[in-house]
Amino acid sequence: MSVQKKTRGNAISRAFAVMSAAISVSAAVENHRRPNSRDLDTLGIDPKAFDRIV
């Protein structure tokens, strides 16, 4: 497999992971629940900092 295909595949996988995390965090906040720490990390949000915001 070429490096370009691996990079493209990784970028697509990352994009889906970010979208999934964003949807999950959004739904949790909308329902007054604490989002999963893994989802916050995926979005680049420090879970401890998130706790101080809410």
pTM, 2 dp: 0.79
Residue 25, pLDDT score? 97
Phi, psi of 34 (to 5 degrees): -80, 130
Region of residue 41 (phi > 0: left; psi between -120 and 50: alpha; otherwise: beta):
alpha
Q: How far apart (Å, rounded) are the C-alpha atoms in residues 2 and 37?
A: 34
Summarised one tens digit per residue, pLDDT across range 2-23 is: 556 667 778 899 999 999 999 9
- Domain ranges (residues) in the chain: 3-53
**Total H helices, total E strands in the chain:** 3, 0
Q: What angle do CA 26, 31, 40 make, to 5 degrees?
A: 35
Residue 11 CB: number of other CB atoms within 10 A?
10
